[in-house]
Amino acid sequence: MAEEGLWKTLEALLRRYGITEKIREQLIVVEWASEAPPIAQSAKPLYVKEGVLHLGVHSHTLAQELHLQKAKLIRDLRERGYAIDDIKFQVIPPEPASFPARLEIEITSEDRLWAHKALEGQDLPPRLRERMVSLLATARARERAMLLGGARRCRGCGAAFFGEGDLCPVCHVWEVEGAQEESFQ
């Protein structure tokens, strides 16, 4: 009984502020896991704006495949009671994987020696040189700690990253954008 009173109060507040329709429009985003048509289960709902559902997908190929099925997707969603007029697809990198809450970064004398050698031949003021050595040594120690913590190297740029696949999120987006540009040429 108390739950019913809460919903009535909430509904009244939504009407009062004129956002009932906006909340109803976004409902598909919240209910996507159970309401998504089978062909779109791997897509991630981002938001709905003016009847257009924006879905995130992890590859240009999947976006194209879903685009070919767009009319069927819209029909399925409308049959389920959602006021969707169109669907737009956006390629997004995969969700970053979880990583250790705290990395133990230990800067060794070997890291500092490596940083000094990396800056050989650079004409830098002494204070800037020391800061650069510190920065480079810290970056090298951080990368080593990440790799020990389960990170992998990106096949595109060589940077250490946490996540699935063999591309870091930045290279993943670059590769997807490159594929999109090739398909338009």
Mean pLDDT of the chain: 83
User: Helical H runs in 121-168?
Assistant: 126-148
2-6, 90-94, 142-146: least confident range: 2-6
Contact call for residues 162 and 97 (beta carbons, < 8 A): yes
**pLDDT, tens digit, for every residue of 116-139?**
999 998 888 999 999 999 999 999
In the chain, what are the domain boundaries?
2-91, 109-184
Averaged pLDDT, 60-74? 90
pLDDT for 24-41, tens place per residue? 778 888 888 888 888 788
What's the confidence (pLDDT) of residue 3?
62
- Gap between the Cα atoms of 78 and 75, Å rounded: 5
More confident residue, 111 or 31: 111
Is domain 2-91 in CATH 3.30.450, yes or no? no
State how far the Cα of 147 lies from the Cα of 143, in Å rounded to an integer.
6
